[in-house]
Chains A and B, each alone.
Chain A
Amino acid sequence: MSTKHDRTGSHHCRRMAAVFSDYLDRDLREAICRKVDEHLKQCPDCRLYLDTLSRTITLYRGLGGIRVPKNVESRLFATIRLAAEKNKRKKRATR
């Protein structure tokens, strides 16, 4: 079987793969978690699959935030100020 775990594996493996995402998030009930652990012990294909899935998630977690560039921030503040002015004028008009 290839490293891509292309679902040619057993029915059992396919069912396991469906919960791996939750498994990595530690979001599985204990009983199911134990079943996954048991399966992983004896299935190198699923171990490899889980490993590549986990590495992928780690990479995306490390992508990090993006700062707002100064010029973008200035335009944002200008837009908000404009909306605030409009709002004031509207309030004055309805008074």
Chain B
Amino acid sequence: MPGDNDHMLLAAARSGDHRSFERLVRNHQARVFSLALRMLGNRADAEDVLQETFIALYKNLDRFQERSKLSTYLYRLAANFSLMKLRQAKAGGARIEPLDAGAEIASTLPTPLERAEAADLRKQLERSLMGLAAAERAVVVLRDVQGIDGREVARVLGISLPAMKSRLHRGREALRRMMLDRTDPEDSP
């Protein structure tokens, strides 16, 4: 079980074994990076959040109680750092660049045409995500993209289950509309 593995690695990392901490990072970095990239829509900020998250884990190794799963804890850190960054960007008037994560997506060997179509679709989906309010985006990314259980999502974001559900509903509904607007034949020339 990955949780058992986390437990052993955490214990070793606490006693100062740097290799074990690096293994923990390797086991969890993709989740953290995916969440940050989809929350922020640009690679530089996502990398910042990735670093902030694991530095925070490192500094809190002794305090992290393992009452919650490590993945929940990391998601919480990453979500909070991402939301903080978005708030700062809003205050500073920064622009959000379009996401271009194409090369790193795990691919299953499609044809070039399929790959191009899939890349277009992915860009469209990611652009729509950036059109959501940050609080809704966080819920949709965690629940639907990362595939986390609803109760877990509520725990990660520190909100009630009903609040999580209503954000999820609003987010999904907004994305549905954006999809329809894009595929609406009336919109094409």
Contact = CB atoms under 8 A, between A and B. Distances in A.
Our verdict on whether A and B bind, yes or no, reads yes
Interface of A: 3-4, 17-18, 20-22, 25, 27, 52-53, 55-57, 59-61, 63-69, 72-73, 75-77, 79-81, 83-84, 87
A60 B145 contact: yes
B106 interface: yes
Query: 7 tightest CB-CB pairs across the interface, nearest first?
Result: A21-B169, A60-B144, A56-B176, A66-B34, A67-B104, A68-B33, A68-B29
A22 B30 CA distance: 28
Nearest to B52: A79
Contacts of A56: 172, 175-176, 179
A85 to B, nearest CB: 10
Contacts, number: 104
B67 interface: no
Contacts of B37: 66
Given A3-B180, A57-B144, A76-B25, A21 B121 contact: no
Main secondary structure of the interface of B (DSSP, over half): helix
B104 A76 contact: no
Interface of B: 18, 21-22, 25-26, 29-31, 33-34, 37-38, 47, 50-51, 54-55, 58-59, 101, 103-106, 121-122, 125-126, 129, 140, 144-147, 150, 165, 168-169, 172-173, 175-177, 179-180
Nearest to B37: A66
Nearest to B144: A60
15 contacts: A4-B177, A52-B180, A59-B121, A59-B125, A60-B140, A60-B175, A63-B125, A63-B145, A64-B106, A65-B34, A66-B34, A66-B38, A68-B104, A80-B21, A84-B58
A34 B21 CA distance: 50
A84 B18 contact: yes
A40 to B, nearest CB: 17
Contacts of B106: 64-65, 67
